[in-house]
Amino acid sequence: MTICLQHYSKFTTTEEIDTAATLHASRHAKALTTSDSKVLDVIRHHAVDNGVAQLNYKTFQDETGKSNATVRRGIRKLVKLGIIKKVHFIQPVVMGLGANIYILLPFDES
């Protein structure tokens, strides 16, 4: 079964996604470690079509080269800073945990 991620999206174009991610990274440059930035880059890379990515921790680990604990810490920080929203996903067929959904949030200029 495939889930439609587009209904989670906050963006209509790839340019909006790139702009939001760049502005978030610039605003929080001092707060983000290199590992946090790599986690954001993975989300951004996988969310290129609609601003939403459905990823498991193994994918993050493989693509960042960081440990599970570092990836989880990075995700928590990105959520706390208002850069992303994390949605826990339950697989409808087996009612078990699936790969989480990560929503890149629009940049708030205030």
The answer to whether the CB of 20 falls within 8 A of the CB of 104 is yes
- Rounded to whole angstroms, the Cα distance separating 38 from 32 reads 10
- All structural domains of the chain: 5-104 (1.10.10.10)
| Per-chain mean pLDDT for the chain | 88
44-84 per-position pLDDT tens digit:
999 988 889 999 999 999 999 999 999 999 999 999 999 99
Instruction: Kindly state the percentage of the chain with pLDDT values over 70.
Output: 89
Instruction: Kindly state the percentage of the chain with pLDDT values over 90.
Output: 66
Predicted model pTM: 0.87
CA 66 to chain centre: 16
82-92 per-position pLDDT tens digit:
999 999 876 66
